[in-house]
Amino acid sequence: MKRISLIVPCLNEEEAIPAFKQEIDRVFKECLEGYAPELIFVDDGSTDRSLEMIKKMAEHSPEVKFISFSRNFGKEAAIYAGLEAATGDYAAVMDVDLQDPPSLLPDMLKAIEKEGYDCAGTRRVTRQGEPLLRSFFARAFYKTIHQISDTRIVDGARDYKLMTRPVLEALLSLKEYNRFSKGLYEWVGFRTKWFEYENVERVAGETKWSFFKLFLYSIEGIVAFSTAPLALASIMGVLLSFISFLSIIILTVRELIWPHSAYGWTSLVCVFCMMGGIVLLCLGILGQYLAKTYTEVKKRPIYIARERSIKPFN
């Protein structure tokens, strides 16, 4: 019997976990008869009863496995830990809040087994129920990254993905500390079939992503998959040098024709402020790349497990 590993990151999800398990049981019973699930819950430092519930579930259901982190390492680290432990013929990453509908799994599996794809990816085509400002910035992010990165990150792509073992192994071979799964999925390549679906609201609990956390995450994505901002800093530098060189010539010529015509310090202050701003911006851009390089060279582990019922397999 073929096995499908489901990797489920959880951060304070005690309300969503029971509904998730119920839905998975239903889908496997009704639509995936010939397949056995392997449910790998990755507790990302929850402070509620999530881990307790998962452990209790594991007592009755042998297919339930868990890894519990020593603190909150983030969803990306949880995905990595889950992929590392997955023993299935196929692996899928999915949220526990049922915003990634498990009912799509049979079709996704069909794409891999019958149509020869290596991966089945999902993307949200609507963002209903999401705050307007959040949708606006999400769209702006995808537009920007499309223009400045060679890695094609699909608009609205979710982390929800079903993959074959070669894809899983390729993802694990990328050992970077600053992980941006949406980009990594694309970077490894392989043939992917996309499934589209409308946004569904969370079954229970609340989103774990504040606007600020998402903002930092988007910067992570840009820094990880594009060096265009660094080029932007250089372009701005060249442009401004050119403008100031031109101004010097114009002012010198003017001074020679109409002596004492160039005066006034207010304009100078404006120019200084603008230059200061641009220099700081460029320094900031440089700093972002430096900071990411710094965290990479330290080679700290992507996560630390406090407790686990399943060992790394891959």
Q: Give the residues lining the site for Mg ion (CB under 5 A).
A: 95, 97, 99
Q: How far apart are CA 312 and CA 314, in angstroms?
A: 6
Q: Quick one: which H or E segment has residue 81?
A: helix 75-85
Q: How many CA atoms lie within 13 A of 297 on its CB side?
A: 6
Q: How far apart are CA 18 and CA 26, in angstroms?
A: 12
Residue 44: contacted member of Mg ion, ligand UDP, none (CB under 5 to 8 Å, by partner type):
ligand UDP
Would you say 30 and 102 are in contact if contact means Cβ atoms under 8 Å apart? no
Six token digits for residue 129: 């129920």
> Among 53, 94, 38, 23, which Cα is nearest to 310's?
38
- State the Cα angle at 8 between 37 and 108, rounded to 5°: 55
Mask 19-58, x = binds ligand UDP (CB under 6 A)? Answer: -------------------------x--------------
68, 99, 164, 226: which one binds ligand UDP (CB under 6 A) = 99
Helix (H, G, I), strand (E, B) or coil at 293: helix
Mask 191-230, x = binds ligand UDP (CB under 6 A)? Answer: ----------------xxx---------------------
Residue 304 contacts by C-beta under 8 Å, 6 or more apart in sequence? Answer: 69, 70, 71, 73
78 contacts ligand UDP (rule: CB under 6 A): yes
Task: Work out how close the CB of 210 gets to ligand UDP at its nearest, in angstroms, rounded to a whole number.
Answer: 10
Task: Work out how close the CB of 32 gets to Mg ion at its nearest, in angstroms, rounded to a whole number.
Answer: 23
Task: Work out how close the CB of 74 gets to ligand UDP at its nearest, in angstroms, rounded to a whole number.
Answer: 5
Nearer to ligand UDP, 182 or 193 (CB): 182
Task: Work out how close the CB of 248 gets to ligand UDP at its nearest, in angstroms, rounded to a whole number.
Answer: 52
Count residues binding ligand UDP (CB under 6 A).
16
Q: How far lies 8's CA from each of 3, 171, 172, 175, 212, in Å?
A: 16, 17, 17, 20, 24
7 contacts ligand UDP (rule: CB under 6 A): no
Six token digits for residue 312: 């790394």
Nearer to ligand UDP, 209 or 242 (CB): 209
Residue 211: contacted member of ligand UDP, Mg ion, none (CB under 5 to 8 Å, by partner type):
none
Task: Work out how close the CB of 96 gets to ligand UDP at its nearest, in angstroms, rounded to a whole number.
Answer: 4
Residues at the contact surface with ligand UDP, assessed by CB under 6 A = 9-11, 13, 44, 72, 74-75, 78, 95-97, 99, 207-209
